[in-house]
Structure formats: structure tokens, C-alpha cells
Amino acid sequence: MEKTRAKEDELLLVLEFPTIPLRNNTSELAMREKVIQRKIRGYFRSLEGAMASDIFLGLMSTCRKIGISFGEYLKDRFYNRHELPPLGDLIWMA
């Protein structure tokens, strides 16, 4: 009970900011993807490689969350089709 009281301010923060998730499952899932990729590929040879991987994993995760195909989104951008709206617009529409 003492530990709970000691963290009272942190635990009640959600009442002040209701958009704060009650669980951190989303964050844990995001990290899990990165750990799995690291186990498969090993460590990166450069900072640029690590940053590129972070960008791609972020794009893939965002596409998954809003229900669009990551592959189709990349093709749309690489081939300058622009049949799909910008990712920021898709996020707001989701």
C-alpha cells in the first residue's frame, strides 16, 4: 500500500490527461519488433543503417495501425503514383 501511495501522483495523472493510455502495450509491441529484427539481422554496421531501419519500422508500424498495406504504400511513393494520400492525411482519416 505504501508503494501505491508513493506513486499516487503518477497513477492519477490519467485523470488529468485522459488520452494517456492505461497500459504500455503499444510501446512494448513497438520495441518487440525492433528486437526481433535485431535477432534476425544482427547489429547495424553504421548509425545511418540503424536510423534507416528505425524509419522503415516506424512506417511499417504506422501502416499496420491505420490498416493500409506497407508494400503498397512504398510502391505508391517509389513509383511516384501518389494514388494514396500522404501518410499524415491517412493518419487523420483513420
The answer to whether residue 32 is domain-embedded is no
pLDDT-based confidence at 76, cuts 50/70/90?
A: very high
CA angle, residues 50, 88, 61, in degrees to nearest 5:
45
Domain for residue 6, yes or no?
A: no
Q: Is 27 a residue whose pLDDT tops 70?
A: no
Domain assignment of residue 37, yes or no: no
pLDDT tens digit string along 29-74? 777 777 777 777 777 788 898 888 888 888 888 898 889 999 999 9
Asked if residue 75 is part of any domain, the answer here is: yes
Rg for the chain, CA atoms, rounded: 18
H and E: helices and strands count for the chain: 6, 0
The range of the structural domain enclosing residue 73 comes to: 46-94
Q: How confident is the model at residue 8 (pLDDT cuts 50, 70, 90)?
A: confident
How many domains is the chain built from? 1
